[in-house]
Structure 1
Amino acid sequence: MRIVVQRCKSAAVTVNGETVGAIGSGLLLLVGVTHEDTEKDAQWLADKLVGLRIFEDDQGKMNLSVADTGGEVLSVSQFTLYSDCRTGKRPSFMAAARPELAEPLYETFNAMLRAKGLRVETGRFGAMMDVSLVNWGPVTLIVDSRGK
């Protein structure tokens, strides 16, 4: 699994003009799933993200996690994170998992974050979504379970 993590002051996702998920301060997660991913990948990422220290403490150092700050999470499925742009002009998405594998694993990942006490909002899996955020910092990281 591959996740683009964006520290934000606020974020929201809309589908057909309807807001389906919105948060205040916290993390916007763009979540991609590939064919080999398992619940172990989801668990590793949930553990990593709940404790990832990217929020500033009183001294201005990144020493606090989203859990420490009481922040929220907006999790958005993003199959294009597994695009391959090495050849041609049109990306290939062959490395992205099919929906029947990706959706349950994405939902399991979100449930794992909730089980750790985080408030988690989501987009709508497989839908055309408009995502907006106020990126705080900006701070943007890529976390991949293949690198664990």
Structure 2
Amino acid sequence: MRALIQRVTAASVRVAGETIGEIDQGLLILICAMQGDDAAKSAQMAAKISKLRIFTDDAGKMNRSLVDTGGSALIVSQFTLAADTSRGNRPGFSAAARPDEGKALYEQFIDDMGALGINTATGAFGADMAVSLTNDGPITIWLDI
């Protein structure tokens, strides 16, 4: 799985002009299931993200995790994270999981994050979404599992 995570003070996702998911302090997680991914990779990604020490402690150092802070996660499917730009100017997305597998793994990842005690909000798989965020830091991290 591949994820782009951003530490935020607020984030939301809208579909057809309606807000369907929003959080205050926490992480915006753009997630992409890649070919060959499975439930074990989803669980591994959720565990990694939940424990990343990217929130500041009382001394101002990045020493606290999402679990430590009680923050939330806005989880948005993003197949374009699988983009291959090595040939030409048009990205290819063949490394992404097929849509049916991608949706199942996206839903599995949401469940995995929830099972870790993290409050989650979501986008809509396959929808044309408008995502808004206030990046905190800014802290943006790319993860491949």
Bin for the TM-score computed over the shorter chain: over 0.9
Aligned to 2:116: 116
1:43 paired with 2:60, answer: no
Note the C-alpha offset of 1:2.
0.3
Aligned to 2:33: 33
Note the C-alpha offset of 1:78.
0.2
Q: How does 1:10-29 map to 2 (within 5 A)?
A: 10-29=10-29
- SS of alignment partner, residue 105 of structure 1: helix
Aligned to 2:144: 144
- SS of alignment partner, residue 84 of structure 1: coil
1:121 counterpart letter in structure 2: A
Distance in 2, matches of 1:49 and 1:22, equals 19
Structure 1: 4+ residue segments shifted above 4 A:
none
Aligned to 2:101: 101
Aligned length: 145
- SS of alignment partner, residue 59 of structure 1: coil
Aligned to 2:75: 75
- SS of alignment partner, residue 89 of structure 1: coil
Root mean square deviation of aligned Cα = 0.6
- SS of alignment partner, residue 34 of structure 2: coil
> Residues 32-77 of structure 1: CA distance to partner in whole angstroms, max 9, x if unpaired?
1111101111011111111111000000111101111110000000
- SS of alignment partner, residue 134 of structure 2: strand
2:109 counterpart letter in structure 1: F
Distance in 2, matches of 1:92 and 1:47, equals 29
- Give aligned-pair identity as a percent: 49
Gaps of 5+ in 1: none
Distance in 2, matches of 1:121 and 1:29, equals 10
1:126 counterpart letter in structure 2: G
Aligned to 2:64: 64
- SS of alignment partner, residue 126 of structure 2: coil
Distance in 2, matches of 1:114 and 1:47, equals 11
Note the C-alpha offset of 1:143.
1.0
Distance in 2, matches of 1:94 and 1:46, equals 24
Q: TM-score, normalised on structure 2?
A: 0.98
